């Protein structure tokens, strides 16, 4: 079997333990076949740092967005800065994210979350970018909002742990489903069953590092090289040959984010 090539479509590389060890962390990921990493920002004050990382390191690509978990810290100035960054020469900016809805946090201020998400979705449409979507306990509400806004470039619902029917609703709108470390836990029977059944053509791989540690690594920061372990488990759950799973997911990622196939 040819060594598979991976793209981690969701890694917060601007946080510890990667900050200060960027070159070493990229080298570790590359040894595991992870050739590229998409780094989504979560707040306006992190936009410049994420963009700088993407310009400094060939393996890194940037996404800019305002995460719902920080809803109390977001304001109109942050939204204006986001548009300014999108309007400026973009370099390796490949998506708008991480954005979305979260009804799991204390005092979610859902009206504000929805308004902010709508504003960011309209920016994605204006600047022709795909979106990286966060959703906890909000899948149905998010799907309804995406129907209203109707993005031409769509995006990915990252770290998906909903039902098969909810995943189908996103796929019908043209949205990919992010496969993360949740499937490495034997007790995650619902999510494992969903990822076993969904069409391969709508799946992407991700870590959400340093969050969402895999089974066997509890208590440790997650890392982009562990995409390989998530891939191994996904292969156990599905019927297709590993070579096909790796190739189709790689192709999906290139298509969504407008990336060129690597010759490495």
Binding-site residues, in ranges, read 10, 12, 98, 134, 158, 208
Sign of CA dihedral 177, 169, 255, 79: negative
Picking from 153, 154, 131, the residue whose alpha carbon sits closest to that of residue 68 is 131
Helices (H) then strands (E): counts for the chain: 9, 8
Output the DSSP codes for 184-207: GSTT-HHHHHHHHHS-GGGEEE--
Is 203 within 8 Å of 167 (Cβ atoms)? no
**Integer Cα distance of 240 and 197 in angstroms:** 11
Question: Per DSSP, which regions of the chain are E strands?
Answer: 6-8, 34-40, 60-64, 93-102, 131-136, 155-157, 176-179, 203-205
DSSP-derived 3-state class of residue 214: coil
Report the binding-site residues for a divalent metal cation: 10, 12, 98, 134, 158, 208
> Which two three-digit tokens encode residue 92?
């390796």
Of 115, 14, 15, 9, nearest to 68 by C-alpha is: 115
d(CA 107, CA 229): 35
CA distance 30 to 33: 5
Among the listed residues 43, 39, 5, the one whose alpha carbon sits nearest the alpha carbon of residue 22: 39
Terminal alpha carbon distance of the chain: 17
């Amino acid at each position: 079997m040819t060594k598979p090539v991976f793209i981690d479509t969701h890694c917060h590389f601007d946080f510890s333990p990667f900050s200060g060890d960027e070159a070493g962390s990229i080298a570790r990921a590359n040894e595991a076949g992870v050739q590229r990493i998409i780094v989504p920002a979560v707040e306006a004050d992190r936009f410049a740092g994420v963009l700088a990382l993407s310009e400094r390191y060939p393996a890194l690509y940037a996404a800019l967005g305002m995460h719902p978990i920080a809803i109390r810290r977001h304001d109109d100035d942050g939204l204006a800065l986001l548009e300014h960054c999108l309007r400026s020469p973009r370099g390796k900016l490949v998506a708008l994210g991480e954005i979305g809805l979260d009804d799991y946090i204390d005092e979610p201020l859902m009206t504000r979350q929805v308004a902010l998400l709508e504003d960011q979705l309209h920016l994605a449409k204006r600047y022709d970018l795909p979106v990286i979507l966060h959703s906890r306990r909000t899948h149905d509400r998010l799907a309804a909002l995406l129907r209203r806004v109707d993005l031409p470039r769509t995006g990915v619902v990252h770290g998906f742990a909903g039902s098969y029917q909810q995943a189908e609703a996103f796929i019908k709108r043209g949205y990919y489903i992010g496969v993360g470390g949740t499937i490495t836990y034997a007790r995650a029977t619902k999510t494992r069953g969903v990822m076993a059944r969904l069409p391969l053509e709508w799946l992407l791989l991700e870590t959400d590092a340093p969050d969402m540690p895999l089974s066997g690594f509890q208590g440790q920061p997650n890392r982009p090289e562990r995409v390989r372990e998530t891939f191994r488990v996904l292969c156990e759950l599905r019927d297709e040959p590993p070579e096909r799973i790796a190739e189709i997911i790689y192709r999906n990622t290139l298509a969504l984010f407008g990336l060129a196939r690597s010759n490495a």
